[in-house]
Amino acid sequence: MDFIPNTDADRAEMLRAIGVDSFDELLAAVPEGIRRPELRLPPPLSEMELASEMRSLAEQNVDALHNACFLGAGSYNHYVPAAVSQLLLRSEFYTSYTPYQPEVSQGILQATFEFQSMICALTGMDVTNASMYDGATAVAEAALMAMAATGRCKVVVSGSVHPEYRAVLGTYMQSRGCPVFTTPVSRKGDRIVEEDIAALVDEETACVIVQQPDFFGRVRDLTAIVERVHAAGGLVIVSSDPISLGMLRSPGAWGADIAVGEGQGLGSPMGFGGPYLGLLACREKLIRQMPGRLVGQAFDAKGRRGFVLTLQAREQHIRREKASSNICTSEALVAVGAAIYMALMGPRGLAQVAQLCYEKAHYARSRIAKLPGFRVLDTGPFFNEFVVETSVPPMELNRLLLESGIIGGHDLSSDYPGLDGCALLCVTETNSRPQIDALAEAMGDIAAAKGGAR
Amino acid sequence: MTEPLLSEISRSGRLGHQLPESDVREEEVEGLPAALLRDSLDLPEVSENEVVRHFVHLSSLNYGVDTGFYPLGSCTMKYNPKVSEDAARLAGFSAIHPYQPEDSVQGALRLMYDLQTVLGEISGLPAVSLQPAAGAHGELTGVLMVRAYHESRGAGHRKKLLIPDSAHGTNPATATMCGYTTVPVRSDSRGNVDLESLKSAIDEGTAGLMLTMPNTLGLFDEHMEAIAEIVHGVGALLYGDGANLNALLGVAKPGDLGFDVMHINLHKTFATPHGGGGPGAGVVAAKAFLADYLPIPVVGMRADGRYGLNYELAHSIGRVRSFYGSFGVLVRAYCYIRGLGADGLRKVGENAIINANYLRSQLMQAFELPYPRSCMHEFVVTGRRQKASGVRTLDIAKRLIDRGFHPPTIYFPLIVEEAMMVEPTETETKETLDAFAAVMLDIAREAVESPEIVKAAPTTTVIGRLDEVAAARQPRLHW
């Protein structure tokens, strides 16, 4: 099925009007030897056949709608209200382009302005942009911002920031000739310990990047590190899960200069990793270094209020090689989805989702702590993720849990060699008490069958 | 009518969504220390029905491809198939976690593997990464690969990237992000890369040339083969900005034209929705000799014949984002390609080119054509003739809005004064093209007979031209 409405008769008429005898005449500049190549592709499908084919591919996947999911680690199974999906199907939104003509794009522009406003409230920051690609690239671009703002070259990042975020930071930094220092994370008995990040801060430090809750789910007092970095003249970047901000003290309240994060939890499905939503918010003083689009309020000649892309002189289409970033297309529609989610939830709903995640995760941890064959690591205060040492290797445990319709936690071995045999479990508002009890029972049975405690 | 902000319709006590009660509340769960908690959260309180009305009203203030003709040059605003929307929303695609065991997501991995294969075939560049989230992100990825390639061969002294003066702004911005100095290459009077300018700019210190083909003037470069020879001749690589790939479907493979690595905009050529500015996907495709430099992971076939994630690329530039790519966008692109097949894709290229040339033949009756040869899938006209009566391209664009059409791209490329870049795409009917041409010719007449009407436009929209200067001087970026 193609979507080409013109017929042979239409084309014949058009070719006549153009003044050529055949389509090939229009390809005169294309080298003859390689013109009109064969394309070896599967044969075309009618819509009915295509729908069937896509369904059969989808059905080969074990999904979280039909199985209990306890995976987090940067992608979260939160409930998406029906109104979000329905509103995102309004094709005036999803089939539109970047709003360069504001008079016919007030829908996207205002929705984005509202998104920006609500993220500012959530993060406690002065200004937010219209989105980055994801949490990882938001961290990377925040580091570049800090380097531009301070004129300094050294980046310090906590080892308890998501491993993939640190990897992306490394990729973005590779052409800069500037060092990235990472605090080592290791295991000491029942605790996960991180070397003191303040020790790495000096007068060369452009920024320190921390995550809250961190990759292991921990929540800590950031006062000391913020003070240390500011005293040295650097900037503090805090990466947060926005759902946790329904409960936790905001990056702004901690004194952060830039708040970044992954907005997927605000109304988007896990979607096998994308498309996601990078959040980037900062203090007013950093606005000129901020990458990405910004929507601002404006007025027409009749005094009517509207919205428009603004401060475009930062961006690639104006500044070209001097732009603060090369970003053009970002995640506009995903941001609109987040705005709709936050509008539906409101302050009470977001606080409630966070509270449910918190309580259920703590209940799950306390049940698992009582199981022979498992040891929960002591990480201090945590939000909705925690680390469990498993007597059965995590990969094997997860394989067996799948047989009971349970998607188990994230194996930490490859990212943290000191945490070999440990899994990161996540609980959200979508996990019922019976699901959590079933997880604990299944884990207990599996450990018992394999011959027990460590 | 304009729509109030959520903050303006908020009323204390209103609830938009009801969550279930906690089923673990009776257990003793200690709260966090107060110092870790927030005091308050200042967000609007709105009921569900108000939220729905609000966003429905906002959507009615927005123009999309489903509303009407959207001839934005280099954006490829083609029809977005609805069967793809259904496919992307299947639970088996949307409700899966990227860290699930590979054996539990074989359908997803297979889709990605097959998409890598078909995009490799279409582009003639078999080493494919689906990871980048947008065209500019794909550019960053591709240029980092060029850099890594030269570094690995001891050619790290190559610090320059050549970029035509007609290039999209993301090209030089990308070059800077990768640590390169940009060197401009001039275009000639026929809209080609000026070979003399290229030869004098290029040397052993050049890492590569970033080239869009067809170029941003909608023209196929008459020196394409010579350009590739010159670039490769000094040991540099040819990077392809794939924004205009729609014109090459079934016409020529970028790999055959001499490109070493390119990015492909799935949200342009492969009909995934633009979303008002994303989500998109900027797939990177490269010649086999660059396969080891691709970002990790790529999807491969395991020894047991099942699909898996391959992190073992010897010279990989690393990750460019979290997880594996904008999977929901990949699903839609895959769906589109499976629906069209080779024949359908060939027809896309053919009809995109015919539609553009036809519309060009109509508009040239009143608008200046800066380049005197046939175009590919898009073309540039200028508003220079109309300037004589004080009407500028901006005014023409705003008057088009009054007449029910979204304007083409304006003031780009920068090398054409008062530019209008028009890309109809293959999914438009001849009648739509005729209607658009008729309105454009009428506006040209208005520009002469009653220019003040054109300069006052738009007058039929919910708001008129906004004072962007004042907005930038005193930015108000949240409510």
- The answer to whether residue B100 neighbours chain A at the CB level (below 8 Å) is yes
CB-count exposure of residue A253 (10 Å: 0-12, 13-18, 19+): middle
Strands A154-157 and A374-376: unpaired
CA distance A62 to B145: 35
Angle between helices B430-449 and A8-18 (to 10 degrees): 40
Per-residue pLDDT of chain A (454 residues; tens, 9 = 90+): 899 999 999 999 999 999 999 999 999 999 999 999 999 999 999 999 999 999 999 999 999 999 999 999 999 999 999 999 999 999 999 999 999 999 999 999 999 999 999 999 999 999 999 999 999 999 999 999 999 999 999 999 999 999 999 999 999 999 888 999 999 999 999 999 999 999 999 999 999 999 999 999 999 999 999 999 999 999 999 999 999 999 999 999 999 999 999 999 999 999 999 999 999 999 999 999 999 999 999 999 999 999 999 998 887 777 788 877 888 889 999 999 999 999 999 999 999 999 999 999 999 999 999 999 999 998 799 999 999 999 999 999 999 999 999 999 999 999 999 999 999 999 999 999 999 999 999 999 999 998 754 4
Could you write out the DSSP letters of every residue in A149-174? Answer: HH---EEEE-TTS-HHHHHHHHHHHT
What six digits make up the tokens of A174? 């590779």
CA distance A357 to B198: 60
Angle between helices B327-363 and B430-449 (to 10 degrees): 60
Supply the pLDDT for residue A236.
Answer: 98
CA distance A245 to A22: 62
Which of B6, B338, B463 lies nearest to residue A114, judging by beta carbons? B6
> CB–CB of A117 and B250 under 8 A?
no
> CB–CB of A34 and B253 under 8 A?
yes
> CB–CB of B92 and A61 under 8 A?
yes
> CB–CB of A270 and B220 under 8 A?
no
User: Which residues, including other chains, have CB under 8 Å from residue B34's CB and lie 6 or more apart?
Assistant: none
What six digits make up the tokens of A12? 């014949």
Closest alpha carbon to B362 in A27, A5, A17: A17
Supply the pLDDT for residue A358.
Answer: 97
Among all chains, which residue has been given the structure tokens 């350009």? B227
CA-nearest residue to A127 within chain B is: B477
Confidence class of residue B70 from pLDDT cuts 50, 70 and 90?
A: very high
The alpha carbon of A3 is separated from its chain's Cα centroid by a whole number of angstroms, namely 33
> CB–CB of A65 and B319 under 8 A?
no
ipTM of the complex: 0.97
Supply the pLDDT for residue B1.
Answer: 86
User: What's A279's DSSP letter?
Assistant: E
The alpha carbon of B277 is separated from its chain's Cα centroid by a whole number of angstroms, namely 9
| Residues on chain A touching B179 (C-beta within 8 angstroms) | 175-177
User: B321-346: per-residue pLDDT in tens?
Assistant: 999 999 999 999 999 999 999 999 99
Give yes or no for a contact between B366 and B444, defined as CB atoms under 8 angstroms apart. yes
User: Which residues, including other chains, have CB under 8 Å from residue B369's CB and lie 6 or more apart?
Assistant: B360, B379, B380, B381, B382
CA distance A263 to A76: 10
Q: How many A×B Cβ pairs under 8 Å?
A: 669
Which of B:377-406 have CB within 8 Å of A?
397-398, 401, 406
Count of CB atoms situated within 10 Å of the CB of A178: 16
pLDDT at B13 over 80: yes
- The answer to whether residue B4 neighbours chain A at the CB level (below 8 Å) is no
> CB–CB of A262 and B329 under 8 A?
no
Supply the pLDDT for residue A325.
Answer: 86
CA distance B147 to A390: 43
What six digits make up the tokens of A322? 């001097």
Cα angle A392, A393, A394 (rounded to 5 degrees) comes to 110
Which of B46, B276, B357 lies nearest to residue A93, judging by beta carbons? B276
pLDDT at B259 over 90: yes
Give yes or no for a contact between A242 and A261, defined as CB atoms under 8 angstroms apart. yes
CA distance B244 to B213: 6
Supply the pLDDT for residue A314.
Answer: 81
The alpha carbon of B140 is separated from its chain's Cα centroid by a whole number of angstroms, namely 14
CA-nearest residue to A122 within chain B is: B41
Give yes or no for a contact between B285 and B262, defined as CB atoms under 8 angstroms apart. yes
CB-count exposure of residue B388 (10 Å: 0-12, 13-18, 19+): exposed
User: B82-128: per-residue pLDDT in tens?
Assistant: 999 999 999 999 999 999 999 999 999 999 999 999 999 999 999 99
Phi, psi (deg, nearest 5) at residue A278: -80, 130
Supply the pLDDT for residue A317.
Answer: 79
CA distance B276 to A98: 5
CB-count exposure of residue B138 (10 Å: 0-12, 13-18, 19+): buried
> CB–CB of B321 and A174 under 8 A?
no
Supply the pLDDT for residue B280.
Answer: 97
Among all chains, which residue has been given the structure tokens 């460590």? A454
CA distance A98 to A309: 9
Average pLDDT over residues B237-260: 98
